[in-house]
A = this chain, B = another copy of it.
Amino acid sequence: MDREELAHYTEVLLSMKEYEGFVWREAFRKKQHLKRLSDKHLKLLPEATKKDNITSHLRCAKQNQVFWDDICEMQKGFGPEVDLPTHVNFKQPLKTHPRHYHKLKSTLHQCVRDWAAEGAEERASCYSPILEELKRALPVNDSNKYKQKVLVPGAGLGRLALEIVAQGYITEGNEFSYQMLFTSNFILNCATEPNAFTLHPWIDNQCNNVSFADFSRPVTIPDVAPSDLLEQDACDGRVFSMCAGEFLEVYGNDIGTWDCVVTCFFIDAAPNVIEYIEAIERMLKPGGVWINLGPLLYHWANGDGDDDERYDQSIELTYEEVKHVAEGLNFTITNEARRECLYTCNKPSMLRSVYQCVQFTAVKGTRLETVPSSPAK
């Protein structure tokens, strides 16, 4: 790990330690705004709004902090040695940038998506069709069990990858974000029984709450112990692994290595989606399949003043253009479908984003292979 990388690694861990401080600032802002109300308006509010709810908000933050502290503690055993404070006085100025806080919030939401009982419907809408298609395209039998290799880039908290292992494939999840990597590492290794951890994942949801109970409600994870998803012989590193790093960099030398690449809500994370499609084609064995499901919400489309150079590269292809590129790269597109999916949905909220995803399976090299064997006219 180079110096810059180590600095980033340390900063992410430190931001986890500072989580409670970020929430405390939000609760403080809320309290200040209430204080500015006239006496008449203050009297109209329920008593709980002015007192108990604020205390309860901070109590929820404290419980989430325990989760982050546990993750930091466990991560000591995996990564480089890092000097972290045991306890952060969160009323002092924080050292990490608020963008880390945004990532911690979305990591908590991902915990619900991948590992809570209430995420089951969401998982059924997008993971189940992928698993069905995988079993259709690459059937597992006694002779090929744990032999076909599946890669899941953008694996998040690892649930989809683990469900794929459970079907009998060698599976590797790839993930770039340290927040996701530390958290998936923690869940996969330390969640030895269902409902081992209690989180309050929705306390950043200021708007569209019906009640304070919706806002502060606890969610337990995991719905199932990760090890219980797997057969005994699949619980080793040769069958399932998570790999840290940027997709294009990590697999830059892989040529014809994989039987299948599964992308779920992933390809639109690319500044240049053509690079991703090209890489997937290169990595697959001839006849290998790419299974994709997701929208095209390009992450780098709107810079709004951010100076990350990826905003200056972003090309926002339509689905038809993505398909054209894939076909030009020698993929044959089959089994196209539209799927209505949610993504880190907070069920009781008055607003939800609903994705009308495209799903397809792209088979590598079919065209080239058939050309030599076709009879001359």
The interface centre, meaning the residue of A34, A41, A353 with most chain B CB atoms within 10 A of its CB, is A41
Q: Is A350 positioned at the interface, with any CB of B under 8 Å from its CB?
A: yes
Contact with B along A37-52 (1 / 0, CB 8 A): 1000101111001000
- The answer to whether A320 touches B211 (Cβ under 8 A) is yes
Interface size class of A (residues with CB under 8 A): 35 or more
The answer to whether the Cβ of A295 comes within 8 Å of any Cβ in the partner chain is yes
Interface hub of A33, A46, A272, A350 (most chain B Cβ within 10 A): A350
Query: Cβ of A324 and Cβ of B274 under 8 Å apart?
Result: no
Please state if A354 and B351 are interface contacts (CB–CB under 8 Å).
yes
Q: Is A296 an interface residue when CB atoms closer than 8 A count as contact?
A: yes
Question: Contacts of A49 on B, CB cut-off 8 Å?
Answer: 317, 321
Binding site for B on A (CB under 8 A): 30, 33-34, 36-37, 41, 43-46, 49, 206-212, 214-215, 268, 272, 274-275, 295-298, 301-302, 312-321, 324-325, 328-329, 349-358
Contacts of A272 in B (CB 8 A): 37, 41
Say whether B210 contacts A318, CB under 8 Å. Answer: yes
Q: Report the minimum CB–CB distance from A217 to chain B (whole Å).
A: 12
Q: Among B275, B321, B325, B358, which residue has its beta carbon within 8 angstroms of that of A350?
A: B358
Q: How far is the CA of A352 from the CA of B354 in the complex (A)?
A: 5
Whether A210 pairs with B314 at a CB distance below 8 angstroms is: no
A41, B277: Cα distance in complex, Å: 11
CB-based contact A354/B354 at 8 Å: yes
Q: Is the CB of A33 within 8 A of B356?
A: no
Contacting residues, chain B, for A328 (C-beta < 8 A): 43-44
Q: How many copies does the complex hold?
A: 2
Q: Which of B37, B312, B319 contacts A211 (CB 8 A)?
A: B319
* A305 closest partner in B (C-beta): B305
Q: Which of B41, B297, B324, B349 contacts A207 (CB 8 A)?
A: B297
Residues of B within 8 A of A207 (CB): 268, 295-298, 301, 316
Residue contact B352 to A313, C-beta cutoff 8 Å: no
- Whether B349 pairs with A208 at a CB distance below 8 angstroms is no
| Contact residues in B for A324 (Cβ distance below 8 Å) | 44-46
Give, as a whole number of angstroms, the nearest-CB distance from A117 to chain B: 21
**What residue of chain B has the Cβ atom nearest to residue A342's Cβ?**
B354
CB pair B350–A357 under 8 Å, yes or no, is yes
Q: A36-B313, A274-B41 are in contact. Are A318 and B209 (CB under 8 A)?
A: yes
Name the residue of chain B whose CB is nearest to the CB of A300: B33
Are the C-beta atoms of A296 and B209 separated by less than 8 Å? yes
Contacts A33-B314, A206-B301, A210-B320 given; 11 further ones with Cβ under 8 A? A44-B274, A49-B321, A206-B302, A207-B316, A209-B296, A209-B318, A209-B319, A297-B350, A350-B355, A351-B353, A353-B353
Q: Which of A275, A297, A329, A358 has the most CB of B within 10 A?
A: A297
Residues of B within 8 A of A275 (CB): 41
A37-B315, A45-B325, A325-B44 known; A320 and B352 CB under 8 Å?
A: no
Shortest Cβ gap from A338 to chain B (Å): 9
Which B residue's beta carbon lies closest to that of A32? B312
A358's partner among B37, B210, B268 (CB-CB below 8 A) is B210
A337 nearest CB across to chain B (Å): 13
Which 8 residue pairs across A and B have the least CB separation, nearest first?
A: A295-B350, A209-B318, A44-B328, A210-B319, A211-B320, A206-B316, A41-B274, A44-B325
Q: Which residues from chain B contact A313 at a C-beta distance below 8 Å?
A: 33, 36
C-alpha spacing A315/B206, complex, angstroms: 9
Residues of B within 8 A of A312 (CB): 33, 36
Q: For A295, list chain B residues within 8 Å (CB).
A: 207-208, 350-351
